[in-house]
Chain A
Amino acid sequence: MKVETMIALLRARAPWRSVARIGLKELGLPVGMGWDDTVPDLLAPNALNAKQMIDLDGTVLEHLIVGEKSLRIYDVGRQAIDALTATMSKKKASPHPVVTGFPSVLSDAAMKQLGDVPPQFGRYVPSSRGSALVYAGVRSYTRRIELNPNAIKAVLPSMDFDSVIGVVNHRRMTYDAVWLPKSGKYLYVLADYPQDATSDFPAQSHLALERSLTKSMGVQLVPVDLFPAVQGLYDAPDGDVVELGFITDDDSVKHLKARQGKKCLRKDGYHTAGATFVGNALLPFRLAVRWQRKLNSGLIVQPEVLLPGTSRTIYGLNNHLYDCVLRNCLGLRDLELIKSKLSPHI
């Protein structure tokens, strides 16, 4: 990849403060306040040495696989994974123009010309712990954008707006991945899930990839139920709980969120006092846990998993939770970490 492409991919896809900045610093690259302050230094002649070029390429590729995703886990058995790995390692990229020059960042004009494109196979990426199948596509979604009320005043002088919200139909590239580990019976599908999109955004990729995998593997794929992991991770000792939805045996639904920082809601004074009051009889239905992963340089990545259950999941009988959300992941090691935390509970 060219440096321009690597930066454009990170800029379009990685949360700045918790991921992109950390990933660049880890490689010893100059990092300023925000992208405008950083890009000129990275694009300067010989800004990156040969090793940094290779390392950044790896960082960007790994982030395409694990960064800001909705995850579904399928129990397909070891044989099926080995068979799929063997087939896909030899498979050529799709002829569709969306994967020409894979991985790339298409311009708005190019995306407009293509229209919406379901995931197209782009590349087989081998690594020490498994391999990833990476797909590219294009999808439009609606976004809310706050506008400057003064600018609207010029058009509508008779109205005084406190805030003006614009709704735009935004088109962006999707990078979805299938992770085929070297051990274990589970296959992992990671669908792109930008922070400002709603849950139907990744659902489209999940549907398309599930269909395509069913076809190539010849078995019906059913995602693993992740709901037991809500209680499991709440009871587990490690990680910081940063979001928690639960019911007790009274009539209200509780939903807590912690701000950035290190606070764990399990230890929140208000929560522990309340939990003691109800005899610890609480049933969690929604949970986000954040872990700390130290990099070689001492910098810390904070991968987070959200199990987005609703109170309906817990009141209903035999309801399931098929996907979880990965936030602030930088590389494959973060996926490994989250996998290891979820696996005892599924």
Chain B
Amino acid sequence: MCLGILKALHERMKSPQRGAWTYRTLANWSGFSELDPIFQDCIQLMVVHPRIRALDMHLLYFSPNRADDIGIPLSAEEEKFALRSDGFYVDPDSGEKVPDYKAYLVPYFVPAAKLEAESRG
């Protein structure tokens, strides 16, 4: 499955767009189901496995108190804090800690440096 996803990623890298990819975009390109736990594991592997490292994962925050929020990307420092086991996240508007903050963070993926290099040949 990993190879299938990688093939789809390489195909996509031929286009000039470098957007924010979601589980769903990756599933659509590679033809797997985003709900398949093995698919999700594969994506995780592509983020963390030192020899694959095809994708970088980042986080978007969707404020629970704003009805039409389109999501705010976290800075590198905020991501570091949010992913720690004793971490927290501060609402960018109020500056107050968000209770149960992990429920409002959503991952997205961008091509990692390694994938960019491979796609350039």
| 10 A-B contact pairs sorted by A residue (CB < 8 Å) | A11-B95, A15-B92, A17-B95, A33-B81, A35-B95, A195-B66, A195-B93, A196-B65, A260-B73, A269-B17
* Residues A148 and B72 in contact in the complex (CB < 8 Å), given A15-B93, A33-B88: no
Partner of B65, one of A34, A144, A260: A144
Name the B residues within 8 Å of A38 (CB-CB).
95
Expressed in whole angstroms, the minimum distance between the Cβ of B70 and any Cβ of chain A is 5
Whether the Cβ atoms of A16 and B90 lie closer than 8 Å is yes
**Chain A positions near chain B (C-beta within 8 angstroms):** 11, 15-18, 20-21, 33-38, 143-146, 148, 195-196, 257, 259-261, 269
Interface size on B, residues (CB 8 A): 24
Whether the Cβ atoms of A259 and B73 lie closer than 8 Å is yes
* Residues A196 and B97 in contact in the complex (CB < 8 Å), given A33-B81, A261-B73: no
* Residues A260 and B72 in contact in the complex (CB < 8 Å), given A33-B81, A145-B65: yes
Q: In this assembly, does B91 line the interface, its C-beta being within 8 Å of a C-beta of chain A?
A: yes
**Chain B positions near chain A (C-beta within 8 angstroms):** 17, 60, 64-67, 70-73, 77-78, 81, 88, 90-97, 99-100
Whether the Cβ atoms of B64 and A146 lie closer than 8 Å is yes
Expressed in whole angstroms, the minimum distance between the Cβ of A148 and any Cβ of chain B is 6
7 more A-B residue pairs beyond the given contacts A16-B90, A34-B91, A259-B71, with a C-beta to C-beta distance below 8 A = A16-B94, A20-B95, A21-B95, A34-B95, A37-B90, A259-B73, A260-B73
Chain A, residue nearest B95 (CB): A16
Expressed in whole angstroms, the minimum distance between the Cβ of A51 and any Cβ of chain B is 25
Chain B, residue nearest A258 (CB): B70
* Residues A16 and B97 in contact in the complex (CB < 8 Å), given A143-B65, A259-B70, A261-B73: no
User: In the assembly, what is the distance between CA of A38 and CA of B64, in Å?
Assistant: 24
User: In the assembly, what is the distance between CA of A146 and CA of B104, in Å?
Assistant: 11
